[in-house]
């Protein structure tokens, strides 16, 4: 994929999300803020943060509890892990599922931009099998990292980032802080 076509694809996705946030009744942006809302803040799309990876699926799907911003404990299955390189350094992100039948992978993470340029509690990537899996490889594209909805409104509670998914590198990709 050439870089211009890729940037256009990412930009189209962002325009759609911004429109949803501005106009949809299900938007996490509080209704009183929507009239002033124009768009979210993003890093420029960068192909260095797009990876095609095999998921190293766990033989034993460990059941874990992840606390959310409302101090509730949520059940997840640690499904597997992705290993990738940024600046010649290897990193690992674990992927989770709510249950065994789910086809979506939940990849929450924090990085060295968290609390500075990006939401302090971390960001999420949701991978859909039909959209993000080609043969036996998943497309883990950090340019599609999003803020959880609790970043926009206190009406939402969101899972916190497991310690194992805190990266000691700046991920200058995806959504930046909302305000």
Task: Identify whether 9 is part of a domain.
Answer: no
Q: How far is Cα 155 from Cα 102, in angstroms, rounded to an integer?
A: 25
Q: Is residue 14 part of a domain?
A: no
CA 82 – CA 126 distance, rounded (Å): 13
Record the pTM: 0.93
Judge whether 23 lies within some domain: no
Residue 13 lies in a domain: no
Tokens 């305000």 sit on residue: 179
Q: Binning pLDDT at 50, 70 and 90, where does residue 158 land? A: very high
Range of the domain at 110: 42-165
Q: Is residue 129 part of a domain?
A: yes
Q: How confident is the model at residue 156 (pLDDT cuts 50, 70, 90)?
A: very high
Look at the alpha carbons of 164, 170, 176, 177 in this order and tell me if their dihedral is positive or negative.
Answer: positive
Q: What is the per-residue pLDDT across 42-92, written as a single tens digit (0 to 9) for each?
A: 999 999 999 999 999 999 999 999 999 999 999 999 999 999 999 999 999
Which residues, in sequence order, are CB contacts of 14 under 8 Å at separation 6+?
39, 40, 42
Q: How far apart are CA 128 and CA 174, in angstroms?
A: 17
Cα–Cα distance, 7 to 117 (Å, whole number): 21
In a domain, 65, yes or no: yes
8 A C-beta contact, residue 142 and residue 50: yes
Q: Which residue is listed with tokens 């460990």? A: 62
pLDDT at 16 over 70: yes
Q: Cβ neighbours of residue 55 under 8 Å, at least 6 residues apart?
A: 79, 80, 81, 82, 95, 105, 138
Residue with the two structure tokens 């050439």: 2
3 assigned to some structural domain: no
For residue 79, tell me if it sits in a domain: yes
The domain total for the chain is 1
């Amino acid at each position: 994929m050439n870089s211009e076509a890729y940037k256009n694809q990412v930009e189209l996705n962002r325009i759609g999300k911004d429109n949803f946030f501005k106009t949809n009744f299900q938007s996490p942006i509080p209704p009183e803020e929507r009239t002033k809302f124009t768009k979210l803040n993003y890093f420029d799309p960068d192909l260095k943060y797009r990876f095609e990876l095999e998921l190293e699926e766990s033989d034993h799907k460990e059941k874990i509890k992840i606390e959310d911003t409302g101090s509730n404990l949520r059940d997840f299955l640690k499904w597997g892990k992705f290993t990738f390189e940024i600046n010649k350094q290897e990193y690992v992100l674990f992927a989770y599922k709510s249950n065994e039948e789910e086809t979506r992978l939940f990849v929450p993470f924090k990085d060295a931009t968290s609390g500075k340029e990006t939401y302090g509690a971390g960001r999420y990537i949701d991978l859909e099998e039909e959209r993000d899996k080609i043969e036996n490889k998943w497309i883990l594209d950090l340019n599609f990292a999003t803020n959880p909805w609790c970043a926009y409104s206190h009406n939402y509670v969101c899972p916190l980032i497991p310690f194992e998914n805190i990266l000691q590198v700046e991920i200058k990709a995806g959504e930046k802080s909302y305000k």
